[in-house]
Structure 1
């Protein structure tokens, strides 16, 4: 087990300050920051959006090599490497390239490396913490063949050629997202409740809402409304007046969300109109949603653990000051655009003790990644785990220990991230009164 120093991404939609989920994780990686009042004050004004736990080149995790650390020396097991990088911060990818079978796992190399040469010495997934204060863009992630095409044609925008299915697991009860298009019945209700919306798209009581109608609405938004911002502002202003004339307690969830998005992105963002077409997905703590390629979605608020295939490809269509690739997003929509509403994904319990320790697995349907939640209570037996491939770990609560037969015991603490070697059995125990809570990401093989 090796402690990681992970990159915090400071996007505009992230939560502000160091006393936030990602802010605390960033501070754990820079323990000397409070020693400088000026630097600490500046850091406390940042928007801490994401913590990246992986080897993606846009935000690779690093390790501090210490040749004098007996446990690290035993794990790395390469004297020349240890001496060369002694007291240096190096990207975790250095280990994967040094000895892929040792640090990624024999089964990982056999399974992924033979199919994709790039994965012979790199990770198949990217693990993250997210803290969402302001809505993310309405976006979708391309499937593999489209990702390859986009990367080839526009490498300055789409910087890798991988698909990006993902899972989001709520860490609290306030997580909200837009996910999947509404059923015809619910979309019709939105039209009926918002006269200005009906007029824009020509909806009447006799309108048949099917996939063709929906794609026509999206086409109208992308190719007409979003090209005439004064007209768009006129529409959103009328919608605002209609909604605010309704007593707050009588507003629909979509109407309330519209006002929130208006305050965040202003009246000239097409995402305000687009939001009326999506399901509002509310997750409770430990509930999850799996997002497959080409599925439009947007996180609205909340703290979450996220894991995905190792990509940063995002095709945006609204709620963003960044580039919107509307043509690509429009053509990504499946022919049968109307989706079946899905229930939240719940983890599958693999172990539970009478003392409160547990292991819960979140499968995704994608072999590149799965997530496991481990919880241990002080005084309990803890849990013992073994995985075929390497793992990435983030602790989000408590303090504890992880013990390996070959490498001894390691102390783990809240908001710190770790790399764990493959094919190693390890025992997890809590040492704090607060339960130890950690999430593990690895490959589902």
Structure 2
């Protein structure tokens, strides 16, 4: 795959709207406009504050924005629960001739999603047979998230030493866990014993008598509110990670009144991901997105096994039985520059179904991107410019046929900022993943896999031209030591 860069605009870039019925569109020698599907869930951001709403309106997925509606997800793909259409009227699947192996999304989270995990292929097939209503397909759902705004998430179990400390510090949390589970957590030393201890802890907490857990949650909230108030004599005596953990509990309890899942930050890692950073969630790993906006790409599935922080169907037994019970969160990465151009950053997971490219075209520049010769979809994230002479605005999405010509992006010199484009297609760099999991998280060993140079955009996605060498050295050191320092906490 190659790109060409330049600073020379030319008169061929007019102000054509991508809805015009041009010969290029009819012969499919260029991209074709897409109409994605917007989803409103209770956790979405309301009205025009939601990026999903603005994108859906621009792409004509909706006719108007309801200020009271929580716009949560924008789907681009062929999944039967939200199939995209071409602006020529065809379904995307019919134009391709088969389903895409991935589903591309934009998410706008105003409050926390459920405590959940996605099944692997074996579990997905079983769940689909046993309960096709709640598990409508038989595919696994590994997923990658790339932050568009500062993004909060709970990902993976905390290390046992942290959980042990929090059990001792918070008697209300301890009261929701069996004596057997607590003893296992305190005594576990070997990896198998630690996994067994985590399973006992999680199972015990999730199956606790609701009257007990609700009562203990109320007691915990009263104490935490007093400790976090201005009346507390020493508000900074405790370490920052403990204080942030307590505030996360208080925040979740406000969103989900009476739900014991608000105590989840006491056993799940609570992370803050900066714009441009990403993380990969393998199958059977617990997580819960909390707030912010991301682009997300996953295997083509909608299977979610939930256990808390949701009014939707909960399947505690299946979730308890399917998790890997590995410790530590996912590795946070910022992708890798393409060899051909520092205007393109790729985010590549260790799974074959998908990868994501983020293109940044500065004012006065053009970028020619070679066709990967596989079906691809793309969406304009921010800024305006031209794509093969067609006007591009944030929210417009396109299908790029594998037999079409190369694409030429151009941003006029008068524009005040760059145009940023996200593109998804089947993984073409599986041997060079950027999303490298720690060896005890996600079920995929990370030993002997080199850590890619990070194009860390410290001031926003795609904004940095060269990564910090000190950051790269620290990241590599943390990775080799397999320690928690590389995972930022909120």
TM over 0.5: yes
1:61 paired to 2:84: yes
Matched, 1:171 2:148: yes
1:240 aligned to 2:221?
yes
Structure 1 position 198, deviation (Å): 2.5
Contact 2:47 / 2:68 at 8 angstroms: preserved in 1? yes
Cα distance in structure 1, aligned partners of 2:200 and 2:61:
53
Q: Deviations over 1:289-340 (max 9, x none)?
A: 1000101101001100000000000000111001111111011022xx2324
- 3-state SS, counterpart of residue 382 of structure 1: strand
Tell me if 1:437 matches 2:420.
yes
CA contact 1:374–1:438 (8 Å) conserved in 2: yes
Q: TM-score, normalised by structure 2?
A: 0.73
Cα displacement (A) at 1:96:
2.2
Counterpart in the other structure of 2:457 = none
Q: What are the within-5 Å matches in structure 2 for residues 312-323 of structure 1?
A: 312-323=302-313
Q: What is the DSSP-based 3-state SS (H/G/I as helix, E as strand, rest coil) of the residue aligned with 1:48?
A: strand
Q: Distance in 1 between matches of 2:167 and 2:160?
A: 11
SS of the residue 1:237 aligns to: helix
Query: Quick one: distance in 2 between partners of 1:47 and 1:384?
Result: 36
RMSD: 2.1
TM-score (norm 1): 0.80
Answer yes or no: is the 8 Å Cα contact 1:373–1:438 preserved in 2: yes
Q: Which has the higher helix share?
A: 1
**Consecutive unaligned residues in structure 2, runs of 5 or more:** 1-30, 189-193, 230-234, 237-241, 429-490
Asked whether 1:229 is paired with 2:229, we answer: no
Is 2:365 aligned against 1:380?
Answer: yes
Aligned match of 1:108: none
My pick for the range that moved more, 21-30 or 286-295, is: 21-30
**Residue aligning to 2:272:** 282
Q: In 2 relative to 1, CA 352–283 (structure 1 residues): closer, same or farther, beyond 3 Å?
A: farther
Contact between 2:78 and 2:92, CA under 8 Å: does it hold in 1? yes
Aligned match for 2:393, one of 394, 407, 413: 413
Q: Secondary structure at the match of 1:233?
A: helix
The total of aligned residue pairs comes to 377
- What residue is the counterpart of 2:253 in the other structure? 262
2:442 alignment partner in structure 1: none
Residue 32 of structure 1 and its aligned partner are, at CA, apart by 8.8
Question: For the residues of structure 2 that align with 1:216 and 1:205, how far apart are their CA atoms?
Answer: 8
Deviation readout 1:15-39 (Å, 9 max, x if unpaired): 00123210101111339946xxxxx
Q: Which residue of 1 aligns with 2:195?
A: 211
Which stretches of structure 1, 4 residues or more, deviate above 6 A after TM superposition? none
Unaligned 5+ residue runs, structure 1? Answer: 35-39, 66-88, 98-120, 404-408
Separation in 2 of the partners of 1:166 and 1:206? 29
* Equivalent residue in structure 1 for 2:337, among 341, 349, 364: 349
Question: Post-superposition shift, 1:383?
Answer: 4.1
Q: Is the 8 A contact 2:278 2:333 kept in 1?
A: yes
Please give the alpha-carbon distance, in whole angstroms, between the structure 2 residues aligned to 1:193 and 1:438. Answer: 47
C-alpha contact (below 8 Å) 2:280/2:330 kept by paired residues: no
